[in-house]
Amino acid sequence: MLVALSAGAMTMAMEAKDRTVHNPDTTNTETILHVWSWNFPAIASNMKAIHEAGFTMVQTSPVQHCFNPEGGSKKLFDEKEGNWYYYYQPTDWKIGNQILGTREQMKQMMDSAARYNVRVIVDVLPNHTAFDVDAVSDDMVKAVGGREKLYHSNGLQPVADYNDRTQCTLWASGALPDVNTENPDFQKYYMQFVNELLAMGVRGFRYDTAKHIGVHSDPVDAASGVKVNDFWDVATGRKAVKGVRLAVPYDSLFVYGEVLQDRNVPEAEYAGYFGQTASGYGHHLRKALEQQSANGINLADWGHTSAPEYLTTWVESHDTYCNAHESAHLTDDQIRTGWVFLTARQNGVPLFFSRPMGSTRSNYWGDNVLGARGNDEFFHPEVVAVNKFRAAMAGEKENLQTTGNGQVLLVNRGQKGAAMVNISSVANFIDLPTGLPDGKYFDEVYGKEFQVKKGHLRGILAPFRSYILHKR
């Protein structure tokens, strides 16, 4: 379904925004729950709990047709019965797959989200197809003008150097065949899918492997006959392709790209199109959690070209958990303390990765059921408390403090609130400056008493625990 735009709406959609300029008065209030590998019925049936936990958005796994080997969609990770990453192998840009569910089930999930005022963002990945090119649908091959026009001329050649922009944007990332995203026939086919999602009520997208889709400064595939890399101009509504244009004003959507930080990445140019992932910051935060101290780590600096209000932040992502298990060894308690610190801050839009039900630090896959709801951590009382704290602190600037041993992190928000986290395995005293007025305070979760005297916040924090204080 294509939605017509008024001239005014089209102008809004086409305006560029400089996301590298920080407005120090901006406060972000939204939070994302990454309902990783939950199917549509599981998301729908838990929407009330998601809303009550204070999450304002849910990010689904990819919803398009995907690789579907016989008997291979039962387990999160198993040699015979499936893998979570099958839905990262598109075979067609049509709604519904064997992992998340049908179009009708997605509609029911969208209805549930609307009922609880939760915005849905969908993970999309136009950069590549399934490894098995024969699994790609005949409909898509025909729509793009044939199999040779579906991929870049070196699109089957695996990337050898990810810091080489020619390889990064025109070769096969992770050996996944690289789609010719500049082909106008592909762009039209993909945008019809996007507009169908928008018509169903989707109001945002996470672009997987976004840094592997070129911007204007990147090399073009001469063999494809294009003069400029214009996929992002089309995807963000700046231009139409063969009569098809993004169906809603772009500024009404929440869109961010997986532009993992590395050398030679044109972050500033990508910032002209969408928000980006603060992957480097996540690494620094996890390092602090691992060593149980922030000493020697600058957690105040987001470390990105983009302004912090346009960054999507995380303690861990599905990639850091699943691929090399970079973050999977961290306990739920450690992840939670990191989440409270991250979410209490003034900027960034934090994403909470839902770990598998039953997962432990010796069994990362837990119950290992594809499509099932994740564990209970997304509605842990500390998570709920900081999500609601974040919304309540709209307009309040942050002030960060750390104890001398680096084990206690304090996020002050003006004179209105404060969030404390003890990231260590031992109890800690706190005696740090705060904007809270003098007096006694009791935290939102445990009722623990803290005192503010002469502008200093004092008390004792239990190991791996967070405390939320509001102005009386």
Residue 401 lies in a domain: no
Q: Based on the domain organization, do 446 and 312 belong to the same domain? A: no
Q: Name which of 85, 89, 84 is nearest 74 in CA terms.
A: 84
Domain assignment present for residue 417? The answer is yes
Between CA 144 and CA 146 the distance in angstroms is 6
**Which residues 6+ apart lie within 8 Å of 114 measured at CB?**
201
Query: What is the spatial order of strands in the sheet that 428-433 belongs to?
Result: 428-433, 456-461, 449-453, 439-442
Same domain, 385 and 412: no
- Are 389 and 422 found together in one domain? no
Spatial CA neighbour of 34 closest among 361, 258, 308: 258
User: How many angstroms separate the CA atoms of 346 and 397, rounded?
Assistant: 6
Same domain, 316 and 457: no
The 3 state secondary structure assigned to 429-443 is EEEEECCCCCEEEEC
Phi/psi at 122 (5° precision): -115, 135
Contacts of 215 (CB under 8 A, 6+ apart): 229, 232, 266, 269, 270, 273
Q: Yes or no: say if 394 and 29 are a contact pair by the CB < 8 Å rule.
A: yes
Cα separation, 100 vs 410, whole angstroms: 39
Q: Is residue 402 part of a domain?
A: no
Same domain, 288 and 430: no
DSSP type of residue 439: E
Q: What per-residue confidence (pLDDT) applies to 7?
A: 37
Residue 97 lies in a domain: yes
Q: Domain count for the chain, please give it.
A: 2
pLDDT for 6 equals: 36
d(CA 397, CA 140): 49
- Same structural domain, 359 and 462: no
Q: In a 3-state reduction of DSSP, which class is residue 288? A: helix
Last residue of a domain, one of 342, 368, 395: 395
Identify the pLDDT of residue 226: 87
Mind giving me the DSSP string for 233-253?
Answer: HHHTTSS-BTTB--SS-GGGS
CA contacts within 13 A on the Cβ side of 437: 4
Give the pLDDT of residue 15.
Answer: 58
Element (H, E) at 459: strand 456-461
Whether residues 158 and 227 fall in one domain: yes
Both 357 and 423 in one domain: the answer is no
> Tell me, what's the pLDDT at 96?
97
Q: Which domain holds residue 208?
A: 7-395
Contacts of 122 (CB under 8 A, 6+ apart): 59, 60, 62, 63, 197, 202, 204, 205, 206
Backbone angles phi, psi at 70, to 5 degrees: -60, 125
CA distance 118 to 110: 9
Residue 2 forms part of a structural domain? no
Ranges of residues in the chain whose predicted pLDDT is under 70 = 1-15
- My answer on whether 53 and 83 are in the same domain is yes
Segment holding 352, helix H or strand E: strand 349-353
Q: Is the residue at 403 inside a domain?
A: no
Q: In three state form, how does the secondary structure of 154-189 look?
A: CCCCECCCCCCHHHHHHCEHHHCCEECCCCHHHHHH
Q: Is 413 exposed, middle or buried (0-12, 13-18, 19+ CB in 10 A)?
A: buried
Verify that 193 and 258 share a domain, yes or no. yes
Report the relative pairing of strands 32-34 and 204-207 from DSSP bridges.
unpaired
Q: Which of 349, 368, 395 lies at the terminal end of a domain, its last residue?
A: 395
Which of 363, 395, 427 is at the close of a domain? 395
How far, in Å, CA of 446 to CA of 389, rounded?
A: 15
* pLDDT of amino acid 472: 79
DSSP 135: G
Query: Quick check: 367 and 357 in contact, CB under 8 A?
Result: yes
What CATH number is attached to the domain comprising 416? Answer: 2.60.40.1180
Strands across the sheet containing 465-470: 398-402, 408-413, 417-422, 465-470
- How far apart CA 180 and CA 160 sit, in angstroms, is 19
* CA separation, residue 275 to residues 72, 179, 204, 268, 313 (Å): 34, 23, 11, 10, 11
Tokens of 84: 């979570």
Please name which of 244, 228, 246, 250 lies closest in space to residue 143, comparing C-alpha atoms.
244
Do 391 and 412 belong to one domain? no
Residues 344 and 424 in one domain: no
Residues marked as catalytic: 208, 258
In a domain, 16, yes or no: yes
Provide the CATH number for the domain around residue 84.
3.20.20.80
Strand 204-207 with 254-257, pairing: parallel
Which residues face 78 on adjacent strands?
A: 82
- Are 237 and 230 in contact, with CB atoms under 8 Å apart? no
DSSP state of 471: -
Query: Is 303 a member of any domain?
Result: yes
> Model confidence over 340-369: pLDDT tens digits?
999 999 999 999 999 999 999 999 999 999
